[in-house]
Amino acid sequence: MRLARSGDREFDLILWGATGFTGQLVARHLVSHYDRDVLNWAMGGRNEHKLAAVRDSLGAPDLPLVLGDSHDQSAMETMAARTGVVCSTVGPYARYGSPLVAACAAAGTDYCDLTGEAHWIRRMLDGHHQQAVATGARIVPTCGFDSIPSDLGVFFLQREMRSRQGAPARHVKGAVARLKGKASGGTVASMLNLMEEAGADRSVRRILADPYSINPEGQRSGPDGRDSLAPSYDEGFKRWTAPFIMAGINTRVVRRSAALLPDVYGEGFRYQESMLTGRGVGGAVKAYVSAGILAASLGALSIGPIRRLIAPRLPQPGEGPTPQQQENGSWEMRFLADPVLVRVTGDRDPGYGSTSKMLAESAVCLALDPIEAQGGFHTPASAMGPLLIDRLQRNAGLTFSS
């Protein structure tokens, strides 16, 4: 039973981490798309001066501010009790996110974030899913470029399959066809933190390698094997492919959606994801070079001293692509299950311009839309499915087509 609905709380939505690189972009999106009488929201963070400066820069002097520190459990509980939804951009989530998820699960407060950290999602699932089911809190991680395009792209394809072929596809392949953008300091910090935890703890490595690591308990096996790091020619896409770094989280999220929505995905569902590098010899060379660079980078970053040497040269927290770079960015992903080919595109750089709009619309969808999902840990598809696809196409510059 849900403890309370948004309307019973002081706010519909609190944006937690509004001073960060992505948080400011989310705040800008909310200010430009939603009047306060439509969406009653507040900005949260640990530094009042920084929050006030962001509020000034947005030209929204009446926007309420909520203060607290991510490590302060009672501050997180107080915040979660004041709002229907918390939208968090405070990462690395494995370092800062756990008290807030615990607080939301306990208070029946909906939650969404930008994590791509599968081991942390599993930790939160194990610790708080049952309580979220009991209180009605819908906890929805991975509402950014990882993993909304993959998750909703496959969901969209399965609905197309059902309407055209009468049944969902058993095997779907996803691939990145175009990716123009840069990483921010927050993302670099999340990646380095993940390598750090994986280096120190074998159970983290085991979770990261498990293709069904975030599936519901009792459904953590299936026909898909471990991720391939090898280049290969794909007969369906008729192109060479290289491994895609985000497949490690995207495939897990898609498989969890399949487990949560058996009517949409059917039995024995399989999903893999890669990056298209082109046709002919050029495509093959690019596939081998990309695979080699990825393997070498992961190998180097897994060694502590090398990681510590490289880290200061990478973007630092608070830094990221310029507005011009975000504007000039774009991406396209394709999802194939013969005879249906789905294209999902975004009109900004994937990591920030597009991600901030995806996260903002996910939070608004949780706050305002008549979603039917019950409490518990969700994926974007299982929580919001068609309602979110609709919002993303109207307000976030995404297209879904087949």
Binding site for ligand NAP (CB under 6 A): 17, 19-23, 45-47, 50, 69-71, 89-93, 96, 114, 116, 144-146, 184-187, 190, 317-318, 320, 351-352, 355
Give me the least distance between CB of 178 and ligand NAP, in Å please. 16
Give me the least distance between CB of 193 and ligand NAP, in Å please. 9
Give me the least distance between CB of 280 and ligand NAP, in Å please. 32
The closest alpha carbon to 44, from 301, 363, 282, belongs to: 363
Give me the least distance between CB of 143 and ligand NAP, in Å please. 7
Residue whose CB is less far from ligand NAP, 26 or 389: 26
Distance CA 350, CA 136 (A): 31
Residue whose CB is less far from ligand NAP, 130 or 395: 395
Distance CA 105, CA 100 (A): 9
Residue whose CB is less far from ligand NAP, 138 or 357: 357
Angle in degrees, CA 330, 388, 131, rounded to 5: 120
Q: Which residues contact 280 (CB under 8 A, 6 or more apart)?
A: none
Would you say 400 and 156 are in contact if contact means Cβ atoms under 8 Å apart? yes
Name the residue number minimizing CB distance to ligand NAP: 91
Residue whose CB is less far from ligand NAP, 211 or 351: 351
Give me the least distance between CB of 67 and ligand NAP, in Å please. 9
Would you say 245 and 146 are in contact if contact means Cβ atoms under 8 Å apart? no
Residue whose CB is less far from ligand NAP, 31 or 341: 31
Give me the least distance between CB of 133 and ligand NAP, in Å please. 25
Residue whose CB is less far from ligand NAP, 151 or 160: 151
Distance CA 47, CA 45 (A): 6
Distance CA 127, CA 207 (A): 15
Distance CA 267, CA 263 (A): 9
